[in-house]
Structure 1
Amino acid sequence: MSDCFIGVSGWRYPNWRGDFYPDGLRQRDELRYIAERMTSAEINGSFYSLQRPSSYSRWAEQTPAGFVFAIKGGRYITHMKQLRDIEAPLANFFASGVLALGSRLGPFLWQIPPRMTFDAERVGHFLSLLPRTHGEIASLATRHDDKLPPERILSAVASGIAPAQRIQHAVEPRHPSFDSPEAHRLLAAHGVAIVIADSAGTWPTMGDATSDFRYVRLHGQHELYTGAYTDESLDDWAQQCRRWLAEGLDTYVYFDNDASGHAPHDAVRLLDRVDGTRAA
């Protein structure tokens, strides 16, 4: 059966406190509060720096069974190196503790900067390096370099998880050159999803037909990162999610319109529309 996972891009935002988060809620309880109301969340701290195994373990402990994390790939790989000479950085990223999430480990998101145009050779090499199972993550993690101290390395598959457990990847390109048959064929050959991004017209929205799951990022309907989604728009997205589910496609949807605090409210509203069981 297919599943729909709906949540937010990150959860530690001061302006959510006293709004979505009730007054008096401890910061360390914010993820738990999110996980009681949504089914997934993107970890975006991993984009800015390598996280610690202890952090991934703590996040797993704070969420119920069935909750899933998407992990945003490091900007050092995508934005600074721009997918060049990334063998060691990739190994370091996967050695930094992602396996500690165990059954809560969901897809990896790789955001490509707007200045980077599609290069079949460079992108193809990157896609070929990506691990596709928990076991492949563990194997790649052992190739980390000496930049990681021992206490920040985890390269063992979590207890109870089969090494053959599948891992999914999604790419969010922001240059229109990726919206081409050649780019789509390459991603399809590797089974990698193109993110369907709604960005108030800032970047192209690329329909995904390159994988057996769907990954959606909702950055803002009319204003990037700020505006709320209308009821009509959420009705449309809910209908689309139900269509994908009927086709047997796992679906991941994350709200990134967090600047004015709309993201968590919109996530709960969409989840209620999709499954009809949660209070908005």
Structure 2
Amino acid sequence: MARSGTIRIGISGWTYAGWRGVFYPRGLPARRELAYAAERFRSIEINGTFYRMQRPENFAEWHDQTPDGFVFAVKGPRFITHMKKLRDVEVPLANFLASGLLRLRAKLGPILWQFPPRMRFNRDIWDAFLALLPKDTGQALELARHHDPRVEGRNWLAIDAKRPMRHAVEIRHESFRSPEFIALLRRHDVALVCADTVEWPLLMDLTADFVYCRLHGSEVLYTSGYEDEALDRWAARVEAWAQGHEPSDAIRVLPPTKPRRAGRDVFVYFDNDAKVRAPFDAAGLAERVGRVASARDLVESA
């Protein structure tokens, strides 16, 4: 009997001044914003890790402020993707993994690797990078032990259990519209992010056992909201993916994959935060796919 994957719909980041008094109740302390958002969504992307190295206590606080069953997606550092451009990144990757990431424990979800618009596809560089990515927390711990002195005294080198780790890549250049790139992701079991925006390619090729979507606003980047018709369309896609199928309107480089009887987990994050559309659009999509229950409900109903 076919099964359905778990659907998690949420937001990209949670600290936005413009959300206060609109999404967040007026007077809610900033330190309570994550907890408030986590009561309403099953997953949130951590953006701060993209811009700077975090500390283990940050990850511990985020873990403790969210309910059981909640999952974070974590953005990989731009030092690796934008500055090093995937060259000689063994130590930077070790530093990232040692910075406290593993303190999220069971709440560690996919790692998102976001790339700059001018970065072109280079098969050898990408193959080497994808091969480096840890497949589970045990591998991540071993890699983290090779950190350099920059994280000495502010690292976390322990795991509570060996768990699978997932990775997703968001590309922003037309050169990635390539069968060779799709095949490479499939070989390494890394998801291709389905990114909705007019600024870069919208691709829905399935390359892993899960789907990762980022909805940035299809008309104006980070600004456009999603009206009823658009949310209905995305809900149909999400349901198809969760059931192990492909949407009828999927935009792909390669032909469709075979149905997956076990279904696929689906992660969807709204990043159209400029006009406080993200949390309301996320709630609208969650309602359409019947996934309104909180993260805590996932655990209590298991």
Q: 1:196–1:205: 8 Å Cα contact kept in structure 2? A: yes
Checking the alignment, whether the CA contact within 8 Å between 1:208 and 1:214 is kept in structure 2 is: no
RMSD across aligned positions (CA):
1.2
- What aligned pairs does 1:55-70 form with structure 2 within 5 A after superposition? 55-70=58-73
Deviation, 1:277, is 3.9
> Secondary structure at 2:278's aligned position in 1?
helix
Identity of aligned residues (%): 52
Q: 1 CA distance for matches of 2:231 and 2:46?
A: 23
CA deviation vs aligned residue, 1:40-80 (integer Å, no higher than 9, x gap)? 00001000011111010100111111111000000000000
- What is the SS of the residue equivalent to 1:2? coil
Shift of 1:209: 1.7
In structure 2, the partner of 1:223 is: 220
* Contact 1:137–1:155 (CA under 8 A) maintained in structure 2: no
Matched, 1:25 2:28: yes
Post-superposition offset of 1:278: 5.5
CA distance in 2, matches of 1:94, 1:135: 11
Q: For residue 207 of structure 1, what is the aligned residue in structure 2?
A: 204
Structure 1 gaps, min length 5:
none
Q: How many residues align?
A: 273
Name 2:190's counterpart in structure 1.
192
What CA deviation, in whole Å up to 9, does each residue of 1:111-146 have, x standing for no partner? Answer: 111111000000000000000101111111100001
Q: Which residue of 1 aligns with 2:248?
A: none
In structure 2, C-alpha distance between the alignment counterparts of 1:187 and 1:132, rounded to whole Å = 13
What is aligned with 1:156?
Answer: 158
In structure 2, what is the Cα distance between the partners aligned to 1:85 and 1:277? Answer: 43
Matches within 5 A, 1:36-75: 36-75=39-78
After TM superposition, the structure 1 = structure 2 runs for residues 1-280 of structure 1, keeping only pairs within 5 Å, are 2-150=5-153, 152-158=154-160, 161=161, 163=162, 165-199=163-197, 201-247=198-244, 248-275=263-290, 277=292
1:166-203 per-position Cα deviation (integer Å, ceiling 9, x unaligned): 1000000101111110000111100001100001x110
Provide the secondary structure at the position in 2 that maps to 1:275: coil
> Partners in 2 of 1:208 and 1:28 — Cα distance?
39
Larger RCO (alpha carbons 8 Å, 6+ apart): 2
Matches of 1:38 and 1:170 in 2, distance apart? 20
CA contact (8 A) 2:167 2:190 kept: yes
Q: What letter corresponds to residue 190 of structure 1 in structure 2?
A: H
CA 1:277–1:219: 2 relative to 1, 3 Å: closer
Q: Tell me, what secondary structure is at the counterpart of 1:147?
A: helix
How far did residue 276 of structure 1 move? 5.4
Structure 1 counterpart of 2:38, which letter? A
CA contact (8 A) 1:238 1:273 kept: yes
CA drift at 1:147? 1.0
